[in-house]
Amino acid sequence: MRDAKMLKLTFCSMCIVINILGGMIANTVRIPLLFLDTVGTILSAALLGPFYGMATGGLSSILKALVMNPKGMPFALVNIAIGLTVGIMAKKFGFNIKTAIISGILLAIICPLIGTPIAVFLSGGFVGDPLDIVVAWMAKSGESIFVSAFVPRVFANLIDKTMSGILVVALIKYIPSKILKPLKV
């Protein structure tokens, strides 16, 4: 293959599809606090860098909203931030199990930082899952609604993003060298 750019484009497109399928797989396996809807974003950012990661993340949210459920559209910014963070991490330190866990921890803070103001604006910080009890309990104990909605999200994201990162490290090992080489890992 001469033109690696073409492969990068098609690979990113498949990563967008993997994001949507990840959400469906999470619905099937039903593990608490595991959403798997950013696996494709992490994968493309880890292999191709921040730009492709950001594009994959943003387009996944738009596509998912247009095809499945529109309620996630305002959170496209969160997905873009995931692509940017993992992309920078992978470019500087490479992407292995160690960086996957570190970027998981970083994302656990960055994602709620962007997602919480949107959630507070749209639904007062409540999303209709069991974590709402923690949000209400913290708000009742005198914390601001932003802090109350932020802290439970950090824990939820910590599990999801770290697991997704580890999953991506495992998936990269299965990529054949004819595809991996042009992608220049």
Task: List contacts with other proteins (CB under 8 A).
Answer: 1-3, 6-7, 9-14, 16-18, 20-22, 24-25, 28-31, 36, 39, 55-56, 59, 62-63, 65-71, 73-74, 121-124, 126-129, 132, 135-137, 139-140, 167, 170-171, 174-176, 178-179
Please state the closest distance from residue 93 (CB atom) to other proteins, in A: 24
| 120's tokens | 């507070």
Please state the closest distance from residue 98 (CB atom) to other proteins, in A: 20
- DSSP letter for 2, please: -
Closest CB to other proteins among residues 2, 92: 2
Closest CB to other proteins among residues 109, 118: 118
Please state the closest distance from residue 43 (CB atom) to other proteins, in A: 9
Please state the closest distance from residue 149 (CB atom) to other proteins, in A: 11
The separation between the first and the last C-alpha atoms of the chain, rounded to the nearest angstrom, is: 16
Q: If you search the block for the tokens 């949000």, which residue do you land on?
A: 135
Q: Which of 158, 175, 149, 157 is nearest to 18 (CA)?
A: 175
C-alpha distance from residue 58 to each of 26, 41, 183 (Å): 20, 9, 21
CA distance 141 to 121: 21
Q: Residue count of the chain, please give it.
A: 185
Closest CB to other proteins among residues 94, 124: 124
Closest CB to other proteins among residues 93, 137: 137
Please state the closest distance from residue 175 (CB atom) to other proteins, in A: 6
| Proportion of the chain in helix, strand, coil states, percent, rounded to 5 | 80, 0, 20
User: Is residue 46 a contact partner of residue 57, using CB atoms and an 8 Å limit?
Assistant: no
Closest CB to other proteins among residues 109, 185: 185
